Structure 1
């Protein structure tokens, strides 16, 4: 049998993490510690690999229930190679060091089991809970595989150049940055998304570091029931997209 498909063979490398192609991650487990991956993200594996649900502490369970933010992980261990992917999103590797990484949990594909993750709050000058209100803070030393819809933009933040980005397009940023959630509108228009512009909340980054932005805003699945009114506009409560679509891959 002959086909151009046979050109898509696995990469031969000794690296623990390898981006097999833009949408597929290859992780070698032989001779390495366990890897934590998004539940259901395994698409193939070779060797003797076991997959177990990762334990979540009481604090992590309460944080997930209160904020909606958290990681549903599985622990992968054994001898062999595992391939991970999710919705054909683009995969990117990030080495986490002492600076730490803040990230939306929806964009984490896999990470070293030695890393720690906790839920942190993002300031809102209006005190309204919406997209980007809570994020994960990943600390320690290790590697994280992130996902984006399309090729992302890495924006450098310096003390003399701050960055603003749509809260629904931000994927991750340096934990050392000062971050505030805001809407560039006057008080009478805070209940609607920038009047008739369709633009909503944004994150403002100040300090020294980076912010990773994808060329897509968070969107619910097709035919999803979004709801109406101010609550739906800001993704709040059961009227918002998050509340209406619990349990699917976008929530």
Structure 2
């Protein structure tokens, strides 16, 4: 049998984490290095590998229920090779160290079980409760696989040059950065946007580190509905953040 399909062979490598291609992650398990992956993202595996639902402790479950931020994970362990993918999104492997990583849970595909994650509140000048209000702080040492819709852009942030990103396009950033969420306005009123430009909320990053954005914008936060009435439509519900609270662990 002949077909161009036979050009897409398994990539042979000794690396623990590697990319089979831009849209598929390959993880080799050696029996002592469990991997946590998003539920339902295993597309194939070889060897003696088991998949178990990852238990969420009381604090994580409580944070998930009240913020909507969190991870539905499965634990992959055993000896063999596992392939992960999700909706043909682009996959990127990152090494997490002391610098830490803040990320929207929607973009996490898999991570080493040695990494720790917790829900944090992002600073908001206006008390915005839409997308970007709560994120995950990833700490420890290990690898994490992130997903993007298309090829991303990594922007360096320095004390001399801060970066502004659309709140619907931001994927992740260095935990040590100072973050402020603000409306794209030319006046102090958050209800007044810049005509019909279509731009809504943005995140402003200051300090030293990086910000990762994808070439795709989701719908909220400008139409986020939390509570009721006009305030909720503009993301100013009771669950909005308060000034000077960036980096706070949700509790």
Q: Determine if contact 1:191/1:230 at 8 Å carries over to the other structure.
A: no
For CA contacts below 8 A with separation 6 or more, give which structure has more relative contact order: 2
Deviations 1:167-210 (A, max 9, x none): 1100000000000101131233x136544221111000000000
1:236 & 1:22 partners in 2: Cα distance?
A: 39
1:155 matched to 2:155? The reply is yes
1:38 matched to 2:58? The reply is no
Query: Following superposition of structure 1 onto structure 2, how do residues 3-22 of structure 1 map, counting pairs within 5 Å?
Result: 3-22=3-22
Q: Give the alignment's TM-score, normalised by structure 2.
A: 0.87
Residue 30 of structure 1 deviates from its aligned partner by 2.0
Q: In the comparison of the two structures, how many residue pairs are matched?
A: 230
Residue 128 of structure 1 deviates from its aligned partner by 2.1
2:53 & 2:237 partners in 1: Cα distance?
A: 30
Residue 60 of structure 1 deviates from its aligned partner by 0.2
2:229 & 2:192 partners in 1: Cα distance?
A: 12
Q: Secondary structure at the match of 1:63?
A: helix
Q: Give the structure 2 partner of residue 137 of structure 1.
A: 137
Q: Give the structure 1 partner of residue 248 of structure 2.
A: none
Residue 120 of structure 1 deviates from its aligned partner by 0.6
Q: Determine if contact 2:31/2:77 at 8 Å carries over to the other structure.
A: no
Q: Secondary structure at the match of 1:60?
A: helix
Q: Give the structure 2 partner of residue 191 of structure 1.
A: 191
Root-mean-square deviation (CA), in Å?
Answer: 1.9
Q: Give the structure 1 partner of residue 246 of structure 2.
A: none
Q: Secondary structure at the match of 2:30?
A: coil
Q: Determine if contact 1:193/1:233 at 8 Å carries over to the other structure.
A: no
1:215 matched to 2:215? The reply is yes
Q: Determine if contact 1:43/1:83 at 8 Å carries over to the other structure.
A: yes
Query: Following superposition of structure 1 onto structure 2, how do residues 1-251 of structure 1 map, counting pairs within 5 Å?
Result: 1-185=1-185, 186-188=187-189, 190-191=190-191, 193-219=193-219, 231-232=232-233, 234=235
Q: Determine if contact 1:150/1:215 at 8 Å carries over to the other structure.
A: yes
Q: Determine if contact 2:127/2:236 at 8 Å carries over to the other structure.
A: no
Unaligned runs of 5+ residues in structure 1 are: 221-226, 238-251
1:146 & 1:191 partners in 2: Cα distance?
A: 34
Unaligned runs of 5+ residues in structure 2 are: 221-227, 239-251
Q: Secondary structure at the match of 1:6?
A: helix
Q: Give the alignment's TM-score, normalised by structure 1.
A: 0.87
Q: Determine if contact 2:92/2:145 at 8 Å carries over to the other structure.
A: yes
